Amino acid sequence: MTAPKLIKPTESELAILQILWEKGMATVREVHESLAKTKDVGYTTTLKLMQIMHEKQLVKRDDSMRTHIYKAAVNKEKTQKHLLNKMINGLFGGSSTQLVIQALGESRNKTSEEDIKAIQALLDNLKKQ
């Protein structure tokens, strides 16, 4: 099976993908335990979501053993890029500048000195190009 051409995970599917990207591979039980730390979700709901994600080719499943092992079938960076572009086009009229202004304006008190330095380095690098 190949990864889907269009990456359209739901919010719940994204939460599962985040766990799989972090862990590499995991059982439904492991994913459920991670989700349960931040959400009120039932085991069967997690199982059903992961089965749907397998059908949508968002995850791969190794069912050679009794306990199925899942891993992400979509690349984290490509998924982030796709969703970011969708958000920029849908919410900010295609303007990445408006996105950055909004993000930094809202997180004024939350932006660390380290983050500001990284952003400044990126801007300096873009100016050189």
Domains of the chain: 11-72 (1.10.10.10), 76-128 (no CATH)
pLDDT of res. 5: 54
Mapping DSSP to helix (H, G, I), strand (E, B) and coil, where does residue 80 land?
helix
| Predicted structure pTM score | 0.77
pLDDT tens-place string over residues 11-45: 999 999 999 999 999 999 999 999 999 999 999 99
pLDDT tens-place string over residues 63-91: 898 899 999 999 999 999 999 999 999 99
Burial class (CB in 10 A: 0-12, 13-18, 19+), 17: buried
- 1 pLDDT higher than 50: no
Which secondary-structure segment (H or E) carries 27? none
- 3 pLDDT higher than 70: no
pLDDT of res. 8: 83
Within 10 angstroms of residue 43's Cβ, the number of other Cβ atoms is 14
pLDDT of res. 97: 87
Burial class (CB in 10 A: 0-12, 13-18, 19+), 28: buried
What are 27's two structure tokens? 């059982």
